[in-house]
Amino acid sequence: MRRKLAAGNWKMNGTGASLADLSELAQRYPDSAIDILICPPATLLHRAAEVTKTSGVAIGGQDCHAAQSGAHTGDVSAQMLMDAGASSVILGHSERRVDHGETDADVRAKAQTAMEAGLLSIICVGESLEQREAANTLDVVGGQMAGSIPDQSTGENLVVAYEPVWAIGTGKVPTLEQIAEVHDFMRTLLEKRFGESIGQSIRLLYGGSVKPGNAAEIFGVSNVDGALVGGASLKAADFSGIIDALADA
């Protein structure tokens, strides 16, 4: 059985005052039957890890550099994330791919470094609206998976998150049939590449305007093992509704 995962990506949001919501979340889930993860900005990583250290909430980073160290001003290494208290890192998010021009090869290099450091890599894939309308979704997702996922991936060090770019923060959500098509396709690709055992062990998350009101039906879709949540993870009350829906799924 794959352990369910509710992951929250705070993106470029949050200051010290935001730790109050994180503390509320930690108190609400002193332990949990599912994995709960919050990925705050790097400025909050250490403080967030302190707030959640005795709870069922883990802390992750939002990106890391492919190098272990060096002359990379403004970047953060996988080892630095570990040192700050992170257990996971989001890689290849569409906002990184678009805003920073990250390629599949860039994402793969970062994931390799993160895995070697002991971090769980959450690799994001997903199509744009133009690609969806051109019926290229599976080709795009398959290509991103082939190029972004390292060969040493297992269910212990990799999670794949499907985030249709056109659904992120827009309120638009694919139909349940569309989500199922992509998640079933991703599972098949993983099994073909890594074998049935490893392919079945890698968790697949859905991300894109997940809210307490639609979470339960999304979590009922085949091969959806949880969610990567943006805005709704910023407030404990909203994210708790998603966590509870996943725990009940």
* Token reading at 167: 């659904």
Q: Where are the domains of the chain?
A: 5-248
Active site (catalytic) residues? 93, 163
- Written out in words, the top-level CATH class of the domain with range 5-248 is alpha beta
Please give the model's pTM, rounded to 2 decimal places: 0.97
Tens-binned pLDDT, residue by residue, of the chain (249 aa): 899 999 999 999 999 999 999 999 999 999 999 999 999 999 999 999 999 999 999 999 999 999 999 999 999 999 999 999 999 999 999 999 999 999 999 999 999 999 999 999 999 999 999 999 999 999 999 999 999 999 999 999 999 999 999 998 888 889 999 999 999 999 999 999 999 999 999 999 999 999 999 999 999 999 999 999 999 999 999 999 999 999 999
Q: Where do we find the tokens 């080892």?
A: 79
Phi-psi label, residue 189: left if phi above 0, alpha if psi -120 to 50, beta otherwise: alpha
